[in-house]
Amino acid sequence: MVSSATDVRPTRSEAPEYGVRPLVRVRDLTIRYDDEPALANVTFDIHEHEIFGIIGPAGSGKTSFLRALNRMDEFTPAMEFDGRIEFDGHDVRHMRNLYALRRRIGVVFPLPVGLPMTVYDNVALSPRLSGVRKKAELDEIVERCLTRAALWDEVKDRLHALGSLLSGGQQQRLTIARALSQEPDLLLLDEFSIAVDPVTTMRIEDVLKELRDELTIVLVTNLVQQARRLADRTAFFLMGECVEVAETEALFTGEVREQRTRDYVEGRFG
């Protein structure tokens, strides 16, 4: 089992502001699939209470990074990684209780992944697995998470309908509500808006800005302007390399070390 220290979280009132300390430390990370490199020698930190953007063309290793962070290599036999990833001071590869790790790291995938159950049960599943049994407590969690995901007003009269009957944008917000029901310290978003209309995308972006006060967010996106709107700092991945990490606004004002970064942000390729 993971040591008790692994599961200790600061209360929300005790949580430090962005930049005080890193929640995630990545050192010399290399990821391979069947010995073919997907990401090589990546090193950077992700601070508490920041939105950390990752941009770059398809095939640059962005999703592979998220997989390594959440130990999804356990479900991908061809995937292996070297180097070190620390989450809250603990090497993720030495955390044998993966449920404890994933309870603290929520994930939202590019396409909505609704569970074959009602809207209510989609959100209540994780609390139930954590031991919450009282209906009043579950009701409060479901309403709070759906509200935080900007979905409550649209589904409060349809809580016992199948989540799969919601629109695509509503289903994506349902997956965010489900992730938030874990009370995670870290939320991973992998191209969350790829199947969502622009209006819904902006609503979700507003939610993410508010959530920054409560948790840390890693945002993988192919939309450089979305990174500019949301991210405090942004990493640029290209062909398996982390080219550079900088304050996001600096990327868009030309204050970058690498011409490749400038070319990508300005739309010369990608």
Rounded Cα gap, residues 78 and 32, in angstroms: 8
Q: Give every CB contact of residue 125 below 8 A, 6+ residues apart in sequence.
A: 115, 117, 178, 181
The three-state secondary structure class of 225 is helix
Positive or negative, the CA dihedral 61, 62, 63, 68 is positive
Q: CB neighbours of 227 closer than 8 A, spacing ≥ 6?
A: 53, 55, 219, 221, 234, 248, 251
Return the C-alpha torsion angle 92, 94, 97, 103, nearest 10.
Answer: -10
**What is the model's pLDDT at position 61?**
95
Where do the domains of the chain lie? 15-104+220-270
Q: How far apart are alpha carbons 264 and 252 in whole angstroms? A: 10
Computed on alpha carbons and rounded to an integer, the radius of gyration of the chain in Å comes to 18
Of residues 183, 176, 221, 231, the one with CA closest to residue 203: 176
CA distances (Å), origin 203, targets 210, 226, 264: 11, 13, 27
pLDDT of 268:
83
Q: How far lies 98's CA from each of 1, 70, 193, 217, in Å?
A: 9, 9, 28, 20
Give me the pLDDT at residue 114, please: 67
Q: Among 3.40.50.1370, 3.40.50.300, 3.40.190.10, 3.40.50.720, name the CATH number for the domain at 15-104+220-270.
A: 3.40.50.300
> What pLDDT score was predicted for residue 4?
35
Q: What is the per-residue pLDDT for 249?
A: 92
Rounded CA-CA distance 165/32 in Å is 38
Contacts of 239-242 with C-beta under 8 Å, sequence gap 24+, read 239/59, 239/60, 240/37, 240/38, 240/39, 240/40, 240/60, 240/61, 241/39, 241/40, 241/41, 241/42, 241/61, 242/39, 242/42, 242/43, 242/44
* pLDDT of amino acid 270: 64
pLDDT beneath 70: ranges in the chain: 1-20, 114, 270
Token pair belonging to 24 = 């995630």
In the chain, count H helices and then E strands: 11, 10
